[in-house]
Structure 1
Amino acid sequence: MVDLTPYPKREKEREMGSLGNSANSKAVHEAGEDDYDHHKHLSPTHQQLDAGALFVLKSKGSWLHCGYHLTTSIVAPPLLSLPFAFTFLGWAAGIISLVVGALVTFYSYNLLSLVLEHHAQLGRRHLRFRDMANDILGPKWGRYYVGPIQFMVCYGAVIACTLLGGQCMKAIYLLSQPNGSMKLYEFVIIFGFLMLVLAQIPSFHSLRHINLISLFLCLAYSACAAAASIYIGNSSKGPTKDYGLKGDAESQIFGIFNAIAIIATTYGNGIIPEIQATIAPPVKGKMFKGLCVCYTVLIITFFTVAITGYWAFGNHSEGLLLSNFLDDGNPLVPKWFILMTNLFTILQLSAVGVVYLQPTNEVLERTFADPKSKELSARNVIPRVVSRSLSVVIATTVAAMLPFFGDINAVIGAFGFMPLDFILPVIFFNLTFKPSKRSLVFWLNVSIAVVFSALAIIAAIAAVRQIVLDAKTYRLFANV
């Protein structure tokens, strides 16, 4: 096992360097018994400027709570698009991509956690991705690259969840009213109202019980999706099984990279520092336990849904597996089963959307809240309700206007999740711990950074190309 602890001399140099890095003290805080105990651990500057950390990113959780947050942020309904990704890859490449994605992200998230723990031990606990980038890469990287990309990823995930929630609601509606007149954007708006209520939950830590329920929900709809796929695949109701790749050579090549972007999005997180910020100190070793909880659920759900879904529908797999359970509006499994599966999905989507709202909430709280007033005082509650409500309204409007989930999924994966989850963690680790250039860890990290940087560029090109090809079918507020 590789020893990831820096040499004593290097440790001492870092400790000396941290003395001159007082500007980063704004990224440090510890959890207390209540908000005021929590508040006392902040520096005077932090007390004045960082209401986002004080109110949204409270450090009060256990490693188990961390596991709930991680599971909700990673094991989410986009996993239902994995059979669709397989249509571009086939059996062998599809399964290999799933395995590589699991191994690399588990490794990368643990590296990120070790970097966070190391800086916390040196007196600079980072609560946000941009704090890490500021300290390790420099302030311009945090402000102009990592911060904007993370915001795009997280807010894009909120938009995608809102859209997918509306699609699931519409599917339930059409089961009871096949000729119903309600449009997709109306269901998106209805789901947006649910998000509007949940968005008012004050802190990330407050979501721990919701995210525990979310963990069981993702197991439930994944089991339903797999059972329905097996049932349809064994009956004569489903399509003829065809596992060949569709399209000409050019389409197949771009399809491969489009599929890689979809899988990267499915494994994506983008908020590891914010989740680790919810853990009560000392944080050492707790993130690893949380990741073990998350990846146990991930392996059960991702591989089961991907394999059974692709086996049942082959290259006819839809962008969302649940769409395959209907054939020209006729259910291939009992209606109540489709209703139940969609209901589980809708409920978890609301939890996922609220989790990815947290970085936005933290920025809003930091901008509009007063850390000298109580969290639930009128001075803080009124701006919180107004700003968060406006944030959800904007996301809902965009989701209703642009209802093309598959394309959005690929773009977010290529431009956002790949840099944040595959590339930056290994760079942060090498710059922080400076492993020997003769060591396996150094070259493994360099290889991951180079390979996934190339994949991110090509996948971004493929995702944009797909949008251009589909643009002729795009219509604002389309009823897809």
Structure 2
Amino acid sequence: MGSMHIETPETFADGSKNFDDDGRAKRTGTWITASAHIITAVIGSGVLSLAWAIAQMGWVAGPAVLFVFSLITYFTSTLLADCYRSPDPVHGKRNYTYSEVVKANLGGRKFQLCGLAQYINLVGVTIGYTITASLSMGAVKKSNCLHKHGHQDECKVKDNAFMIAFACIQILLSQIPNFHKLSWLSIVAAVMSFAYSSIGLGLSIAKIIGGGHVRTTLTGVEVSGTEKVWKMFQAIGDIAFAYAFSNVLIEIQDTLKSSPPENKVMKRASLIGIMTTTLFYVLCGCLGYAAFGNDAPSNFLTGFGFYEPFWLIDFANVCIAVHLVGAYQVFVQPIFGFVEKWSKENWTESQFINGEHTLNIPLCGSYNVNFFRVVWRTAYVIITAVVAMLLPFFNDFLALIGALSFWPLTVYFPIEMYIKKSNMQRFSFTWTWLKILSWVCLIISIISLVGSIQGLSVSIKKYKPFQAEQ
């Protein structure tokens, strides 16, 4: 899942032509910008595990599962597009975020469940990004070692030092109170995710052209029956993670001009965005599988299926690390904002929580320091880094996040809101098949959740905490 960031316009009470009907700054987004935002949001670190996922399922089931997930995601995103304004999809009141849409259409209890699902997803992503970034930093060191000492050398690299370095960078970045205004971060992250995905794709093509004896099969990796089932469950979770981006779709829709109607433009943008990313995913997954065969590594840029050109692999891994430095902040800021707002509402008199202290930094100007913000944000980054060190398993963790977030955010809420909004008759044909789709996706999510937990438990049995090596 990649990162993206859209600035929320400040509210204006001016009715001039520069402002929308609700007094906010006039939006200028089109289907082109929305498609670009979707592609930016989707293509991210999830692409790194797709060759491994296809290898677990083989040439038949692997691409088929990718296409099924893309169709479900496109269909539910069209339902979500109609829920942006309420009660009327064209002239109703705008809802600016995913959770506001749920609150407007389904009410308080479902809104709380939506918040829980979103924040579990966000926390999981921040831990997953810490693991992925450290693997990429370690891969640069390992790649240089292998180039210098030969491919037979073990060149073991400890990841913990890189996790600590990543956490230190995040502690510094997390102290910037108005980070949401640094929209350049999303642009950098988008460029980086395209760069490393394209390098992986290019290296896969070069490996296929160069020949070599890799074994690929219609049914994928040949292992014992139960292990095969667990691996397939985990692979489904990895693919779900690669498509789990619904919680930013409303924010993307909120950038679109009001004419033509946002829901029509958003449906077109969703189609283009998801078609583009699916094509990219199929290429990365299938060409990665063709290059590595049944031995495809869990992360096709850090798993050392490629050794040369070592500088290009180094560059790709640096791109991953830089992308994830920015992506971590995009995903962590809503958590910071939620906790700080809740604390201020509950402890209005506390100087520790509410007091702002001006600090003059040479060459940088004045800077507002809030002691609660410093302590809480630093503590959060440290906790996610410690969890990442305890559970540094890239694939299992991606599958876990994918399984936890795919059904509630991508399927359940869009379907329930659409049913409620259109006053659909219970047990009518459309109601029945929408409910069946939701239940099938729930079962898929549970299956991949079980697979990822089983994968984590197997990995933990063989693992000594804080001794991570690659």
* Same fold per superposition (TM over 0.5): yes
**1:309 positional shift:** 0.1
Q: Is the 8 A contact 1:65 1:208 kept in 2?
A: no
Specify which of 442, 451, 461 is matched with residue 462 of structure 1: 451
Counterpart of 1:306? 285
Q: CA RMSD in A?
A: 3.7
Alignment identity in percent?
Answer: 23
Query: How many residues get paired?
Result: 427
In 1: Cα distance, 2:311 partner to 2:178 partner:
36
The counterpart of 1:91, out of the listed 16, 34, 59, is: 59
Distance of aligned partners of 1:463 and 1:218 in 2 relative to their CA distance in 1, 3 Å threshold: same
**C-alpha distance in 2 between matches for 1:61 and 1:164:** 35
Q: Tell me, yes or no, if the aligned pair for 2:29 and 2:257 is still in contact at 8 Å.
A: no
CA distance in 2, matches of 1:83, 1:131: 37
State the AA in 2 paired with 1:284: E
Q: Does 1:401 find its partner at 2:368? A: no
Alignment match, 1:284: 262
- Once residues 198 and 69 of structure 2 are traced to their aligned partners in structure 1, the CA distance between those partners, rounded to angstroms, is 21
> How far has the Cα of 1:171 moved from its partner?
0.4
Matched, 1:318 2:285: no
1:59/1:277 contact within 8 Å kept: no
CA 1:112–1:86: 2 relative to 1, 3 Å: same
* Matched letter for residue 57 of structure 2: L
Q: Structure 2: which 5+ runs fail to align?
A: 1-7, 147-153, 349-353, 359-367
Q: 2:198 & 2:246 partners in 1: Cα distance?
A: 26
SS in 2 for 1:321: coil
Mapping of 1:234-273 within 5 angstroms? 234-235=209-210, 239-241=214-216, 244-272=220-248
Alpha-carbon spacing, 1:289–1:101, altered in 2? closer, same or farther (3 Å): same
Equivalent residue number for residue 109 of structure 2: 140
Query: In the alignment, what sits opposite 1:349?
Result: 324
Q: Describe the shift of the 1:318–1:152 C-alpha distance in structure 2 as closer, same or farther (beyond 3 A).
A: same
- The 5-angstrom pairing of residues 24-423 of structure 1 reads 31-32=10-11, 62-63=29-30, 67=35, 69-119=37-87, 125-143=94-112, 145-177=113-145, 183-200=158-175, 202=177, 206-235=181-210, 239-241=214-216, 244-272=220-248, 275-276=251-252, 279=255, 282=258, 284-285=262-263, 287-288=266-267, 291=270, 294-295=273-274, 297-326=276-305, 332-368=307-343, 378=357, 382=370, 383-423=372-412
Distance 1:71 1:362 in 2: 26
Counterpart CA distance in 1 for 2:309 and 2:389 is 29
Structure 1 residues 94 and 354: alpha-carbon distance in aligned structure 2, compared to 1, 3 A threshold: same
Q: Is the CA contact 1:115–1:429 (under 8 Å) kept in the aligned structure 2?
A: yes
Please give the alpha-carbon distance, in whole angstroms, between the structure 2 residues aligned to 1:30 and 1:348.
Answer: 25
Provide, for residues 296-332 of structure 1, a one-character-per-residue CA deviation record: whole Å limited to 9, x for no partner. Answer: 5413421221111011112111111113434xxxx53
C-alpha contact (below 8 Å) 1:30/1:280 kept by paired residues: no
Aligned-partner Cα distance in 1 for 2:279–2:464? 38
**Per-residue deviation, residues 424-480 of structure 1 (Å, max 9, x unmatched):** 211221122234569775455223212111212222222222223333113322323
Indicate if the aligned counterparts of 1:82 and 1:263 stay in contact, CA closer than 8 A. yes
- Normalising to structure 1: TM-score of the pair? 0.77
Q: In structure 2, what is the Cα distance between the partners aligned to 1:254 and 1:172? A: 31
> In the aligned structure 2, how far is the partner of 1:223 from the partner of 1:192?
27
Q: Which 10-residue stretch deviates more, 317-326 or 260-269?
A: 317-326
1:473 and 2:457 are equivalent in the alignment: no
Who is 1:48 aligned against? none
Change (3 A) 1:200 1:92: farther
Alignment pair present for 1:431 and 2:400: no
Aligned equivalents of 1:338, 1:238: Cα separation in 2? 22
Q: Deviations over 1:95-133 (max 9, x none)?
A: 111111112112212211321223487865444444444
Unaligned runs of 5+ in 1: 1-28, 44-53
- The structure richer in helix per residue is 1
SS in 1 for 2:83: helix
State the distance in 2 between where 1:296 and 1:95 align.
14
Q: CA deviation at 1:344?
A: 1.7
